Structure 1
Amino acid sequence: MRSFAPRVPTRHIGPATIMGLVVAQGSIWLIRRPPDENFGSYLGQFFGAEAVLLLSVALVLISTLPWVEAWFDGIDRAAIWHRRLAITGLVLLAPHIMLSSNPDVSELGGALAVIGIAGLVGLALWAILPRWQSVVPRPLRPAVIAARDARGLAAFRRIFGGYDRWRALHRTTGLFVAAGFVHGVLDGTAFDTSPIRYWSYLAIGAVGLGFYVYRELPARLFQSLHDYQVATVEEIEPGLVEIALQPIGRGVDFMPGQFAMVYLEAKDGWHRHPFTIASAPHDRDLRFTIKALGDYTSRLHELVEPGMPAVIGGPHGRFDHRRGTDRQVWIAGGVGVAPFLSWLRSLDGPLPYRVDFFYSAVGAPAFADEIRTIADRHDDLHAHIIDSSLEGRLTAERVLVDVGGHPEGLSVFMCGPAAMLSAFETRLRRAGVASRHIHREYFDWR
């Protein structure tokens, strides 16, 4: 098995690098402004250059290269930053369009600008659609639901809905970034008086598009893929399925808490999705606990049968309790229990620290008996199983009370719905838990 030694948290290295690039390019543009250039137009072109920088870095972050995962402390965190940079880059295009002016704009450059912006905006809106409730005010949601379910949109949703279609078209992002980049090369007047602006812009765009080409073409030759087949498909409860895959040949080596890219052939074709591994490394079969969140996952027990082929890519992720302190709290919400199941099933000796594991679900939590059995074998592992429909929602305040207070030196590991984890993170920080000791897995990064 691979060594997976505890690491110093690196979650800030990647964002700090991005900030350094943004500041460096801003310095080049704002310090060396040509005196005869219209300030409004120059400022608009500056925003365009920063947008290309952010979008280029966003392309780097989805290259899935090992060093990218190391810089951002996990590929899931890199994916979150990819989304943030893409959105910020799109926002910067608004002042670029409003302020930039070039009476001698080329015909090709103008057409590429329209193609690039239209494509990027369309992809961004499509990416937001699955999370529309997080951006639409509550009073307007009934109207959105009514429009979504209208007869005329049903066919549109069938054609363009689904993770696989979204992913296939999302891979064209680099083409639209390339269109905007070439538009800047052809029509940017600020480059005429400063070679350093011109060559830095070329370098930034070339790097981003180079990573995009690598990901779409040669990267496929270097992927770590392992052949499996479906062993069992078990519906644990309505909306929750556990699938076990048995290896064909050499299986994947992983550490507890990691996730994998799972390619499954179902009755309606192949599907690809990231899932957290719920089994222990010493188990022969890989087990995944999958909640019905839409797409084919809502019909997984109908579409997948034993004997069907599967391919595993990865593993990925750095969700590792060995990075914590001597006093730890593990918090799982719903299907977020998956990485903790892998941790618990991997225990083969005494824990070197005290752990309080809080597992909350609506209704009787799945795997509760197994978790209690494991906890009974370890004196330093204390399981708190919460049925929120009977006991109310789990809160950070309750967690701190149950562990005896004293948040100083406490490490917290969390996995669950994004809204729940964000609330916990905010309240735990206010209570005195150091931010460097709060770890979470982003299983909804898509």
Structure 2
Amino acid sequence: MLPPVRYLGPLSAGALAVGFAVLWIVVGPPDGGWASFAGQLAGAEAVLLMSLAMALISLLPVVETWFDGIDRAAIWHRRLSVTGLVLLAPHVMFSSGHRAPAPGGGGQQVGGLLAQAGVWGLLALAAWAIAPRWRTMLPWIGPHLARTAERVTAVPVARRVLAVCRWIFGGYERWRALHRLTGLFLAAAFVHGLLDGTMFGSVVLHWSYLITGGTGLAFYLYREIVARHLTALHDYQVAAVTTVGPGLTEISLTALGRPIVFTPGQFAMLFLETGAGWRRHPFTISSAPHDRFLRFTIKALGDDTTRMQTLVRPGMPAVVGGPHGRFDRSRGTDRQIWIAGGIGITPFLSWLRALDQQSGPAQVDLFYSAQGKAPFADEITALAEAHPGLRVHLHDTTTSGYLTADAVLDTVDTDPGRLSVFLCGPAQMVDSFVRRFRRAGVRSRNLHREHFDWR
């Protein structure tokens, strides 16, 4: 039996990386120097993985199909990039001091400079990308760092320095602009390998390296130069900005031309011209395809989303790109469970609002977990009353604690093998639910999640 579609992309990427390593090992070093060769192989694998990472964010439709959604492609882009950076350590350790002499030494010198530029540039971008997630990656050190930060910020000079650092490194748009330099640092590392490699006595190794690195750079150039001219964009105008809960804003847009065609549960790239300039973010669409307005429900999680209510006003222009994503209820069985945590209700809102025009599964149990009164609770309850196959379970964490997978299974009381489960919410919550459902007997191919946390 073939694996679920969502695994085909990662499996094929893994097979390519393994096949590349096997090819190099079979050919072997021309001079028998296996230690140096291992270092060169680690560097070549790093270039291969980062080239694959470039392909995954190229915005080509075939990539989204290959990885079952652009959100999964973005997650694997990050994983492949980090793995490639880790491989640079053995490359440096085993390759240093074992370089073949180059005529005149000029190629070696340039190669060394390019190596330093590529390695340090990629490490800096990786550190910057990981920095916002330090609290979740290192929960045990969080309280200590918080106390240290309080003591440091008590000093006026230190407070000013930190403010400058936040201005330089803060903000999604600034991070996104500098993150586009990844391809240039990859190019530096790639050319370094061509100029400074000791394994290129073999034509096979030379061409395998040239093809993989060159392909990655071709994808990078496509994204930076060509993709923007081929991406489908739709002109809209802000019709309303509504506060629907604490830190929760719903933006309604009206089409100025051809509207976007989407499947309930998909997300789109939303470009908004605000008082602070144009802002671009991926948001899940919360309206149904037939609705008069295109709606996005946005939670204040970053700088731009926090200021959304004050920066965005009716009448402002907007551009919508997409749609993207594969979070589609039609991929499930007739017996489904929908689980939403907080802002994770967004794709389910689109599903619910589309029930009048698109028939849903035979029976659905929606579990909506929120702190206090759940936003949209009245609308969701009214929809459930109009559709007998839909049962809604509103869970208030302030009075009932966290929602658990066991509580869901006890409430549904159905053979897990018949269930399809769709989840959207905080990553830790979704991960724990997925593990428990698998142990309970829900098939992996019937577990679906939206990876909105990659945004």
Q: What is aligned with 2:346?
A: 338
Tell me how far 1:274 sits from its aligned partner. 0.2
Q: In the alignment, is the contact (CA less than 8 A) between 1:351 and 1:378 conserved in 2?
A: no
Q: Deviations over 1:40-72 (max 9, x none)?
A: 111011011110000000000001111100011
Q: How far, CA to CA, are the matches of 2:368 and 2:89 in structure 1? A: 44
Could you tell me which of 237, 248, 256 is aligned with 1:240?
248
The one-letter code sitting in structure 1 at the alignment partner of 2:278 is: W
Q: What is aligned with 1:53?
A: 48
Cα root mean square deviation, aligned: 1.4
Q: What is aligned with 1:79?
A: 74
Q: What is aligned with 1:136?
A: 138
Tell me how far 1:24 sits from its aligned partner. 1.2
| Residue 118 of structure 1 pairs with residue 113 of structure 2 | no
Q: What is aligned with 1:29?
A: 24
Residue identity (%): 59
Q: What TM-score results when the alignment is normalised by the length of structure 1?
A: 0.96
The one-letter code sitting in structure 1 at the alignment partner of 2:303 is: D
Tell me how far 1:362 sits from its aligned partner. 1.2
The one-letter code sitting in structure 1 at the alignment partner of 2:88 is: L
Q: What is aligned with 1:199?
A: 207
Q: What is aligned with 1:412?
A: 421
Could you tell me which of 441, 444, 448 is aligned with 1:439?
448
Q: How far, CA to CA, are the matches of 1:111 and 1:40 in structure 2? A: 23
Q: What is aligned with 1:3?
A: none
Give 4+ residue runs of structure 1 displaced > 4 Å after superposition. none
Could you say what secondary structure the match of 2:417 adopts? coil
Tell me how far 1:25 sits from its aligned partner. 0.7
**Correspondences of 1:253-292 after superposition (within 5 Å):** 253-292=261-300
The one-letter code sitting in structure 1 at the alignment partner of 2:191 is: V
**Correspondences of 1:249-398 after superposition (within 5 Å):** 249-348=257-356, 351-398=360-407
Q: In the alignment, is the contact (CA less than 8 A) between 2:333 and 2:361 conserved in 1?
A: no
Q: Deviations over 1:403-422 (max 9, x none)?
A: 00421121000111111111
Could you say what secondary structure the match of 1:166 adopts? helix
Q: Deviations over 1:259-314 (max 9, x none)?
A: 00000011111100000000000012110110000121011100110001100000
The one-letter code sitting in structure 2 at the alignment partner of 1:81 is: W
With over 3 angstroms needed to count, the CA separation of the structure-2 counterparts of 1:9 and 1:374, relative to structure 1, is: farther
The one-letter code sitting in structure 2 at the alignment partner of 1:153 is: L
Q: What is aligned with 1:4?
A: none
Q: How far, CA to CA, are the matches of 2:122 and 2:256 in structure 1? A: 41
Could you say what secondary structure the match of 1:205 adopts? helix
Tell me how far 1:146 sits from its aligned partner. 3.8
Q: How far, CA to CA, are the matches of 1:197 and 1:323 in structure 2? A: 43
Q: In the alignment, is the contact (CA less than 8 A) between 1:253 and 1:281 conserved in 2?
A: yes
Q: In the alignment, is the contact (CA less than 8 A) between 1:58 and 1:81 conserved in 2?
A: yes
The one-letter code sitting in structure 2 at the alignment partner of 1:56 is: S
The one-letter code sitting in structure 1 at the alignment partner of 2:56 is: L
Q: In the alignment, is the contact (CA less than 8 A) between 2:244 and 2:250 conserved in 1?
A: yes
Q: How far, CA to CA, are the matches of 1:36 and 1:104 in structure 2? A: 14
Could you tell me which of 228, 238, 241 is aligned with 1:230?
238
The one-letter code sitting in structure 1 at the alignment partner of 2:339 is: I
Q: Deviations over 1:169-212 (max 9, x none)?
A: 001100001100110111111111x1111101100011110010
Q: How far, CA to CA, are the matches of 1:278 and 1:35 in structure 2? A: 59
Tell me how far 1:236 sits from its aligned partner. 1.0
Moved more, 75-84 or 351-360: 351-360
Q: How far, CA to CA, are the matches of 2:362 and 2:212 in structure 1? A: 46
Q: In the alignment, is the contact (CA less than 8 A) between 1:112 and 1:183 conserved in 2?
A: yes
Q: How far, CA to CA, are the matches of 1:145 and 1:124 in structure 2? A: 25
Q: In the alignment, is the contact (CA less than 8 A) between 1:37 and 1:190 conserved in 2?
A: no
Q: What is aligned with 2:163?
A: 154
Tell me how far 1:145 sits from its aligned partner. 6.4
Give structure 2 stretches of 5+ with no counterpart: 103-107
Q: What is aligned with 1:182?
A: 191
Tell me how far 1:104 sits from its aligned partner. 3.3
Count of matched residue pairs: 438
Q: How far, CA to CA, are the matches of 2:319 and 2:68 in structure 1? A: 25
Tell me how far 1:144 sits from its aligned partner. 4.9
Q: How far, CA to CA, are the matches of 2:142 and 2:175 in structure 1? A: 25
Q: How far, CA to CA, are the matches of 1:243 and 1:140 in structure 2? A: 34
Tell me how far 1:235 sits from its aligned partner. 1.0
Q: In the alignment, is the contact (CA less than 8 A) between 2:335 and 2:361 conserved in 1?
A: no
Could you say what secondary structure the match of 1:254 adopts? coil
Tell me how far 1:143 sits from its aligned partner. 1.6
Q: In the alignment, is the contact (CA less than 8 A) between 1:77 and 1:442 conserved in 2?
A: yes
Q: In the alignment, is the contact (CA less than 8 A) between 2:367 and 2:393 conserved in 1?
A: yes
Could you say what secondary structure the match of 2:307 adopts? helix
Q: What is aligned with 2:105?
A: none
Q: What is aligned with 2:229?
A: 221
With over 3 angstroms needed to count, the CA separation of the structure-2 counterparts of 1:242 and 1:140, relative to structure 1, is: closer
| Residue 16 of structure 1 pairs with residue 16 of structure 2 | no
Q: In the alignment, is the contact (CA less than 8 A) between 1:9 and 1:73 conserved in 2?
A: no
